[in-house]
Structure 1
Amino acid sequence: MFSHVMVGVSDFPRALAFYTPLMDLLGVRLRFQEDDVPWIGWESSPDPRPLFIVGKPFNGAPHQPGNGHMVAFQAATRSQVDQAHALAMAHGGVSEGEPGLRPHYHAHYYGAYFRDPDGNKLCVACHRAE
């Protein structure tokens, strides 16, 4: 369905310090990094798309997080959701919802919500029974 999703940031080195360990934890493979642009992209597996890209806005204007926008990453286990939330907090993230079941979505939805250091809202969710 998606070709790629891009999240704008204001401080690229800070974004790298936040997103790199998160993508590593989730097992998402690095596809490219161009510090001079600056942007970085991770690819899905086994296919090369969709891509998740983090970088400075292309138009050169300052980054501004949107209200109502969120990117959700799929985790393989509930433990991975817990780890991702803790990792995000350790790297400058702000919690928007502790890890836990959210049965109003479905019986096995286990998710955590947080914002990156630029205010972009993210989620990590596991859809499997424990």
Structure 2
Amino acid sequence: MALLDHLGITVDDLQAAVAQFDPVLTDLGYTRHDEEGSVSWDNGDETELILYPAREEGTGPHRHGRVGWQHLAFDIATRAEVDRLHALALAAGWTEVRVPKAYPRFNDRYYASFVEDDNGIRIEFAYNPPRSAPSA
């Protein structure tokens, strides 16, 4: 099965975006790499996330619900970790979109939160264990 190799995201202010993404991705176990013209994080052989500066100033932020980016969900091991990561993201400057809570409309085990950075990039911390797993 083909896995997602990398995800590139264009941002208005690269350093400001790095300040928001780095605490979250580092906490999730990703390693940061600073290059000329971009900053990336990888998790060993896992998917790499790359931030690039916008080529045209003033073209952001992205507006949720428009054609294009919707959100990126990270698979989190427990409800407590969702809560902790949500708080970490808020401390790093992300804006709260949805507080950590259960989402029974998805399934009876789903627990998640949503945050958005200054560029309108939305991420989700999702705890969605298999049906056979005990709730944490």
TM-score by length of 2: 0.79
Matched residue type, 1:77: T
CA distance in 2, matches of 1:28, 1:6: 15
Structure 1 gap segments, 5+ residues each: none
After superposition, the C-alpha distances for 1:85-120 in whole angstroms (9 at most, x for unaligned) are: 111211221111001111211221111101012221
* Alignment pair present for 1:40 and 2:39: yes
CA distance in 2, matches of 1:87, 1:116: 13
Preserved contact between residue 25 and residue 80 of structure 1 (Cα < 8 Å): no
Preserved contact between residue 44 and residue 50 of structure 1 (Cα < 8 Å): yes
Question: What residue is the counterpart of 2:13 in the other structure?
Answer: 11
111-120 or 6-15, which deviates more: 6-15
Q: Which has the larger radius of gyration?
A: 2
Preserved contact between residue 112 and residue 125 of structure 2 (Cα < 8 Å): yes
* Alignment pair present for 1:61 and 2:56: yes
After superposition, the C-alpha distances for 1:50-74 in whole angstroms (9 at most, x for unaligned) are: 21112213xx123531533211112
Question: What residue is the counterpart of 1:103 in the other structure?
Answer: 104
CA distance in 2, matches of 1:5, 1:66: 19
TM-score by length of 1: 0.82
**Corresponding pairs, count:** 123
Moved over 2 A (4+): none
Overall identity of the aligned pairs, in %:
26
Structure 2 gap segments, 5+ residues each: 130-134
CA distance in 1, matches of 2:96, 2:78: 20
CA distance in 2, matches of 1:75, 1:92: 20
Question: What residue is the counterpart of 1:112 in the other structure?
Answer: 113
